[in-house]
Structure 1
Amino acid sequence: MREFFITALIDMNACLILQDREGHYVCITTLPGHWTLKPGVLPGDTAIFGAGIGARLAELKAGLSKPGDRAELEIAAGDDTYFEFRCRLVEMGNHEVYMMTVVIDRTEDRRRERLLRALLREVSHRSKNLLAIIQSIASQTARYSGTLETFLSKFRGRLHALSQSQDLITDSSWRGAYFRDLLKQQVDRYVQENGDLVRVSGEDILLTPNASLHVGLALHELVVNAVSHGDFLARRRPIEVSCERIETGFGPQIRMTWVEPLGPLGDEALVAARTARFGSTVLERVVPSSVNGRAIHRLESDEVRYELTFSQDNEE
């Protein structure tokens, strides 16, 4: 059984120490590599673990008086390592009372706990940002909606676009989302049977989480406007969308371009189209300000052009 128990202790990454009532070491197994016992030196808490830890263990053990009493102590042993000391008085079959100490390496546990706390802080931070985005969208939607029905319709669409983008971000372990995936989400939802009429070129750039949410929102607005107020489906003239990295005086940036062809519009039709399409400030204010970028949004007699330029390493 000796080999069995020693193997089990090694697998548990644990060390077992047994002392008699006078504190003399009777047995010690699988001492952690962090500590060593010099040849010729009698084993003891101070001899093995040093004066500091030895004093803390002595104080801990002094508080145990009868069999069954137990106490625990966690020690940072340096080099980002942590050990838990579990001390307990036990009565053996010969009615002798011994002090049993189990030393367990908790380094990986503590590292996982720190990582989990960091992840929870990150989730909390991003959740607050997402709620702020939703609040902003609700406010802007309400400001430019004449009726409750209009507000609900627009707000639900925008909220769904955010939800889709957030799914992509989550699937990537919060790295962000690829531009073409963001575009495909909106195309599949609104023009699935005519997806060939939205052509994409340029790089498939991985956008930061913050940029992903807002670029996805911009693409939602553009697709909805095109379906609701455009004629590209009837004329079978494709929309051209591109995404590329560019160098500017502000450093490397990303530029997204949307070019939607229109049939010839007279002056009155052009004014009516601008009124219908430009009722929302999402494309011109909300999105560019949220990514610290700038936007150009023009409706001419023969096309709609939207350009969004923002920093490559943009983040909330």
Structure 2
Amino acid sequence: MINRTSPTPVAVAAALASPARLEAVKATLPAYAGPDADFTDIADLAAGLFSAPIALVTLIGETTQWYLARRGLGEVSSSAADTFCARLLAEGGAPIVVPDARADSRFSDLPSVTGAPHVRFYAGAPILHSGHPIGSVCVLDVEACAGAGDDALLHLQQLAKLAGSLLFLKEEARRRALANAEIAREEQRHAAALNAANVGSWLWDIRTGMVIGNAPLLRMLDLKRGENLTARQIFAAIHAADRTATIEKLRKALETGGEYDGMFRAGSTGRWLLGRGRVHEWDADGKPSMFLGITLDVTEGQIASERMRLLLRELNHRVKNTLAMLQSLARQTLRQTKDPEAFMAAFAGRLQSISEAHGLLSDNEWGKITLTALLQAQIRPFVDDFERQVEIHKDEVQLGPDQSIGLGLVLHELATNARKYGALSVPGGKLVITARVVREDGQSVLYMTWHEMGGPHVEPPQRRGFGLILIERSLDKVLGSNVHLEFLPSGLTAIIRLPLDQV
């Protein structure tokens, strides 16, 4: 493609970028704006009108002119700013004839004039949509021509109008085909979903009181298939405790024309059913005559909802316990740490430890989490190279909420101490953790040993700070648990006993 050497005239640029015109182009632009055989006859007729070797049916975007049909050219598009048709837009959208482009300053510097195919003659008529020019039907010749007859120009305009109508109809047909295809797909999906979900459907003739229901509906309500199923029978099959509210919701939907949405139990089975529907037809007086609805068996959903309520109650209980723990932690940390910055650092770390345990428990719906996950969450932030600095030998176990939060705090305090003063404070230091499950008096008990190696020489502390107290007391909520600390010269050792049969 030849680049222009002179700037695009302001009027041409403004016409190409007109928001209203581009919106009209967008409204009719096919999904594939390329050569279309349906427009070939229009291009051939245009060429025949002027005995011209080149004819085009085009759509003109802001930067690109697409050829819906072309005769005498191999390209399928061109730069919009470099075309005769862009000037057609700038001329107000009226048809134009250019007898000799070399002698016309509006066109003399176009690449198609100065270079191949060396166009001399041009005649074009705009394709309009909603009053805006969106393209053109045009002819071009490499020989100059004195002009064009009025009849030929009129026919060219008619061809442009025909192209516009055809373009609009094709785009409308394409959109309708897409819409119909989507509707068909949606209906197929709905049918498959109804079948998979065992959905009951029903049509209630309000005038006669008769109901047409499918087999799933009859099964849900434990009704026998018959020719004379009535609304009264349907209502009688609803659990007595839910019948009045269900009928009232239906009555309200009939009065307002709104949607009926009601939950009720089947009288014979007690299973939970969800009914939905709305008025489908009205009579000549504007009164409801037909009501269409569906019924779903949502018993499993109700069970899940009840389970969620239980989980929320458990979460509420845990949050209360956690808040009490946080208050105690804050008081004890503040009592041991008078410096505000030191308090914030110590308290934030303990808060993060509880948060990590809570996050793991939440991911498992406050059930149980693995010892591996807890060790990773509590120790990894304090080591530079987990694989090199931490050696773990363990039996995999599941930990309940109290066990996870308590043991998490113990591990956090041990790791914090190791990072500040122990094995993790020096490059060659290492942790060795052993966790084994044994049976004692018919109960599973976890014995865990935390041993630090390669760290600084250890001296027993002169006083027991809150960190040591927290290590020894964090498992108090787990009956039978304890933590024993040994300050060996070679490194701190902690022995943890944790019964596992408590949740």
So what's the TM-score if we normalise by structure 2?
A: 0.51
Q: Which aligned pairs between 1:16-31 and structure 2 lie closer than 5 A?
A: 16-23=202-209, 25=210, 27-29=212-214
Q: Which aligned pairs between 1:54-73 and structure 2 lie closer than 5 A?
A: 56=244, 60=248, 68=256, 73=262
In structure 1, what is the equivalent of residue 264 of structure 2?
75
Cα deviation for residue 89 of structure 1 reads 8.9
The 2-side partners of 1:88 and 1:142 are apart by: 67
The 1-side partners of 2:188 and 2:216 are apart by: 11
Identity level (%): 23
Is the counterpart of residue 310 in structure 1 residue 502 in structure 2?
A: no
The 2-side partners of 1:82 and 1:92 are apart by: 30
Q: Which aligned pairs between 1:1-316 and structure 2 lie closer than 5 A?
A: 11-12=193-194, 13-23=199-209, 25=210, 27-29=212-214, 32=217, 33-35=219-221, 38=224, 42-47=228-233, 50=236, 56=244, 60=248, 68=256, 73-77=262-266, 78-84=269-275, 90-92=281-283, 98=289, 100=291, 102-107=293-298, 108-193=300-385, 196-230=388-422, 234=426, 236=428, 238-249=430-441, 251-261=443-453, 270-271=459-460, 273-275=461-463, 280-285=468-473, 287-292=474-479, 293-315=481-503
| Amino acid of the structure 2 residue aligned with 1:162 | I
Give the 3 Å change call, closer, same or farther, for CA 69–305 of structure 1 in structure 2. same
Does the 8 Å contact 1:274/1:299 carry over to 2? no
Q: Which moved more, 1:145-154 or 1:9-18?
A: 9-18
The 1-side partners of 2:466 and 2:206 are apart by: 85
**Partner-residue secondary structure (3-state), 1:34:** helix
Larger radius of gyration: 2
Q: Which moved more, 1:146-155 or 1:175-184?
A: 175-184
So what's the TM-score if we normalise by structure 1?
A: 0.75
Give the 3 Å change call, closer, same or farther, for CA 158–82 of structure 1 in structure 2. same
| 1:153-183 Cα shifts (integer Å, max 9, x gaps) | 2111212222233333334444443323333
Cα deviation for residue 245 of structure 1 reads 0.9
**Partner-residue secondary structure (3-state), 2:220:** coil
Instruction: Answer 1 or 2: higher relative contact order, Cα 8 Å, separation at least 6.
Output: 1
Cα deviation for residue 302 of structure 1 reads 4.0
Give RMSD over aligned pairs.
4.1
Q: Which moved more, 1:154-163 or 1:42-51?
A: 42-51
| 1:167-202 Cα shifts (integer Å, max 9, x gaps) | 333344444433233333344322214752332112
| Amino acid of the structure 1 residue aligned with 2:220 | H
The 2-side partners of 1:283 and 1:65 are apart by: 63
Where does the alignment leave 5 or more consecutive residues of structure 1 unmatched? none
The number of aligned residues is 307
| Amino acid of the structure 2 residue aligned with 1:198 | V
